[in-house]
Structure 1
């Protein structure tokens, strides 16, 4: 499942959700296609039958839900005038979704929680200090993991926090549990399959502008604790995903220096078995940009992965799938006119 946006962001001509059937090599089938809007984000629910997505049209920002056959479309939330929503994250069980609501003047966002079953909306986190927070993924069905940033500063995201939704609405900075400190201009993290651990890639950024190695990959208790290193790479790991109980995916993207190792790699969760899957000659490959869940990046049988590629030196945009055993890439969408394409995830339906 993937997003296609035609036209510039500020004057879109069409936003489309599409699906590609890998088994019979058919593709480009529209789920929905709506003129004059931009689809900002999309995320598949576990089970793969529904997609939540954020659209932007004529200054209006909405959160919608649609079945993957294009039926039963619903508007879940419409942001007030002069605001927009972003950073959507679905809970594992698909019962709740969190998102930030930003003032269009660039002010500090607040974090909202929407129950998909009841439709109830609550202001979950209203920051009181100079920081704002981005929901990054769910640890489990009641805890959200967030990174912090200083609004309008241009500074990178920092640190990692846990927010407990059971504590109710109108929480503040002091209600967050800080798990560890890190500058996210380089590096990444993900939650283990049993939710008891975090895998963390920590690397350097040259002058805060360009990711470089080395990277240390560690594992630590999910709610804080001493990290235990499991691997050391000379390159920068900019995306880390736990895609099975025993497998990690690593996106290596040195922004300067030695770029010969750039691309997607896999590794066992104990740090062994590092294997290259792709070569990235443009520096533009990426896994799903919206969700860290396994089904957003690999098939349910853990045989295939998908990635997107944006060539920074041209208007070419490509989407691929490949084997987690061999890494052989098969392109399934290729547009050279600057039309934006983004991965959403995998479904069996």
Structure 2
């Protein structure tokens, strides 16, 4: 269908490209040739089944009529409806910023205030919909779109159902009264976001509240409460949706206040009488939660505020009193919670785990029958339509024994032994991956290298913030010189090499977070070192690229890219290049630093060796200073560059005294990938700004390190790039502070829920004196999680996962 329609006209709309395909409709990007604006067109697809075509055609027209009758700022508008050339189409605004689902796939967990500010207006839109006697029936992150950076709209009313104004919300007896609908008694919706009564064929207004509760749960924890890894687990998921309480959100994200957790859990009550009866009730509770949070937290980093002249000129020392600033101390290792803490399992079971409580053999057969039916229904795409009755009976028959918890064991897909030897010189291997269920706790990943002179081994370790437990994932027979977390948080990239002899090769390997799947992707030629390694930020590991430099001689470096899903190795720049990859701004666009003058360049990545050579294009000239750093905002819309006086090498070690003046410039990137002229967002005449890390779209972490013997300003700071407000998180007193030097990704320095940061302190002159600390981004006293003295290791932070 895409080949026939792209480039053609429907009414006065020229079809440009497909955006998303569904079971019965496809959404296209198009241009309104009259108004010269971009729009999205949802086109109904004709099928050979006349009955199905007629039913969906009626539903399609009804969607247009219903949405056209609604007028709410958080409900997606309908511009037009038409029928032409045998096609029915619905015209809506084109929203380039995508859906909440896409943002959650990228960021996983949203900070609490940001999540509430996004979520509450959608609840208001749902109340408006219910006031007009409409049940949405398909609320999910994919149907909540970004109208702007900070505004969401409720979309896709294709499954909308009218209810009579004088109906009870949930009549006695557990069945809804007669309602006007095109569904004719069918169960319709997306299973992962269906309320229990909707699964049983009785969708009512309160069902939408349950779905909204699931969405907020996912925004704040980064996971669905009944997460599944494959379609084969759908029957088990429906059983849990019907009968199991969701895991406590606070066990996954301890930063969630108890009152907010209680609100989410009430929205997810199985008993409709205990659930919020109206969206406005849910909304009122969330507003109270937000008010309480705002009263005890610093000004939100996620609400754009006007920048006054006074605020833009604030210095660090004027924003927080000295006695309010925590300083780095080195107490004994203390977890953030009691080590004996035991949390409910929040990860999905395997099908075997679901079936264990079922005792009668015929129920196994019934469940297999249901599974077969569910797989057949997948052919319809993301839209699910099943008749109530037999399926519901099967799900009820397979209800787990109340005394047995089928969720008591966390499982992960096992991996076969991988190849860990080096491929032939110049060759690479495709990555072999498999998913791993989230354990649901904020977890720091870090490495430790043997501090002995021979550097005989390197370890990958994790620290669980909730339990306070440390675990070794894997040990390599070589020191680890670089380690980075994939965006999925499930796999870790490892670069290792022995310092001597010079004939040693450098190894590129990866391992899953549970220690399985260690595999070697690539090895350099003997005596060639691999450095400046950078993973692309794609959430799907199969779409991830790895770009790196190989240094043959001090003045001869080759930049190459490895595509993980096929093992293809592509040379991006010739051996004469002097560039270092700094950050990705998309999965095939990289920002490079020219090492001699500090100029920034943009490089379009070649994904295949046979593609035409690409050459870096200049973004901005450098200052010639070598005290500089760079980072990109979490939404990849801004590149930040900082400069100070003095010299800092790749390990943040000053080889010349560092001092002010310092400046942070912002370079905006438009939707076409064009870079703006740099404009300053922060300056200081006296402070030496040696490291910057963007952790959200509007927040930077700053490392201030003056060479004048700790002038009282050194330490870790937080800067809101919109309001220019700053806050010191920790002071640097004796040992030097280090942000992550392996990666500039947000998750390399801060937890996914925006609650914690991780840093290293140590000596620049001596090895074996490292300390790893985690602290609250609100400025609380940091906690020590590991020290070199406990096991003689050189330590470094890799990043955060859950």
State the TM-score, normalized to the length of structure 1.
0.89
What is the rounded CA distance, in whole Å, between the counterparts of 1:174 and 1:50 in structure 2? Answer: 30
Q: Is the Cα contact below 8 Å between 2:644 and 2:660 reproduced in 1?
A: yes
Q: What's 2:559 paired with?
A: 111
Number of the residue aligned with 1:21:
464
Partner of 2:586, secondary structure, is: coil
Report if the CA contact (8 A) 2:661-2:688 is conserved. Answer: yes
Matches within 5 A, 1:261-340: 261-282=713-734, 284-312=736-764, 315-336=768-789, 339-340=793-794
Quickly say closer, same or farther: Cα 1:226–1:54, change in 2 above 3 A: same
Q: Would you say the 8 A contact 1:212–1:257 is kept in 2?
A: no
Which one of the candidate residues 588, 599, 602 is aligned to 1:142? 588
Query: 1:339 offset after TM fit, Å?
Result: 2.8
Alpha carbons 2:620, 2:678 under 8 Å: kept:
no
Within the candidate set 324, 343, 346, 2:797 is matched to 343
Aligned length: 336
Residue 77 of structure 1, CA deviation? 0.2
Asked whether the equivalents of residues 769 and 794 of structure 2 are also in contact (C-alpha less than 8 Å), the reply is no
Distance 2:689 2:696 in 1: 19
Structure-2 residue corresponding to 1:179: 619
Aligned partners of 1:311 and 1:211: how far apart in 2?
Answer: 16
Q: Is the 8 A contact 1:288 1:344 kept in 2?
A: yes
Q: Distance in 1 between matches of 2:721 and 2:665?
A: 10
Matched, 1:87 2:520: no
Instruction: Report the 3-state secondary structure (helix = DSSP H, G, I; strand = E; otherwise coil) of the residue aligned with 1:295.
Output: helix
Aligned pairs for 1:83-232 (under 5 A) are: 83-93=528-538, 94=541, 95-103=544-552, 105-128=553-576, 131-149=577-595, 158-166=598-606, 169=609, 175-182=615-622, 183=624, 185-205=626-646, 209-222=656-669, 223-232=674-683
- In structure 2, the residue matched to 1:12 is 455
Is the contact made by 2:759 and 2:774 (CA closer than 8 Å) also made in structure 1? yes
Higher helix residue share: 2
1: CA distance between counterparts of 2:755 and 2:704?
Answer: 21
Counterpart secondary structure, 1:19: strand
Q: CA deviation at 1:193?
A: 2.6
Distance in 2 of aligned mates of 1:196 and 1:97? 21
Deviations along 1:158-181, one digit per CA (max 9) or x if unpaired, are 211111014865999981111112
Give runs of aligned pairs for residues 242-261 of structure 1, distance below 5 A.
242-256=694-708, 259-261=711-713
Q: Which segments of 5 or more consecutive residues in structure 1 lack a partner in the other structure?
A: 151-156
Distance 1:172 1:308 in 2: 43
**Aligned-pair distance for 1:115?**
0.6
Give me the whole-angstrom Cα distance separating, in 1, the residues matched to 2:600 and 2:568.
Answer: 27
The structure that has the greater radius of gyration is 2
2-structure distance, mates of 1:167, 1:312? 39
Contact 1:146 1:163 in 2 (8 A): yes
Aligned to 1:154: none
Tell me how large the CA RMSD over aligned residues is. Answer: 2.5
Q: Of 455, 465, 474, which residue of structure 2 is paired with 1:32?
A: 474
Q: Deviation of residue 186 (structure 1)? A: 1.5
Of residues 165-174 and 136-145 in structure 1, the stretch that sits farther from structure 2 once superposed is: 165-174
Structure-2 separation of matches of 1:12 and 1:71: 24
2:482 corresponds in structure 1 to 41
Question: What CA distance in whole angstroms lies between the structure 1 residues aligned with 2:526 and 2:678?
Answer: 44
Which deviates more from structure 2 when the two are superposed, residues 180-189 or residues 316-325? Answer: 180-189
Q: 1:68 aligns with which of 487, 506, 513?
A: 513
Distance 2:749 2:482 in 1: 15
C-alpha contact (below 8 Å) 1:124/1:168 kept by paired residues: no
Task: After superposition, give the CA deviation of every residue in 1:287-323 in whole Å (9 maximum; x if it has no partner).
Answer: 1110000000000110100001112365411000000
Asked if the contact 2:606–2:613 (Cα under 8 Å) also holds between the matched residues in 1, the reply is: no
Please give the alpha-carbon distance, in whole angstroms, between the structure 1 residues aligned to 2:765 and 2:575.
39
User: Aligned pair in 2 of structure 1 residues 84, 301: CA closer, same or farther (>3 Å)?
Assistant: same
1:131-158, CA deviations, whole angstroms, 9 ceiling, x for partnerless residues?
A: 51111221211111111225xxxxxx62
Q: Take 1:33 and 1:71, find their aligned partners in 2: how far apart are those partners?
A: 12
Distance 1:48 1:142 in 2: 20
Q: How does 1:45-64 map to 2 (within 5 A)?
A: 45-57=486-498, 59-64=504-509
Judge which range, 220-229 or 131-140, deviates more. 220-229
SS at 1:124 equivalent = strand
CA 174–254 in structure 1, closer or farther in 2 if over 3 Å, else same: farther
Deviations 1:236-265 (A, max 9, x none): 111111101221111111123653211100
Normalising by structure 2, report the TM-score. Answer: 0.40
Q: Distance in 2 between matches of 1:31 and 1:319?
A: 17
Residues in 1 aligned to 2:720 and 2:573: alpha-carbon distance in whole angstroms: 36
Q: Does the CA-based 8 Å contact 1:309-1:317 persist in structure 2?
A: yes
Residues 270/172 of structure 1: CA separation in 2 closer, same or farther (3 Å cut): farther
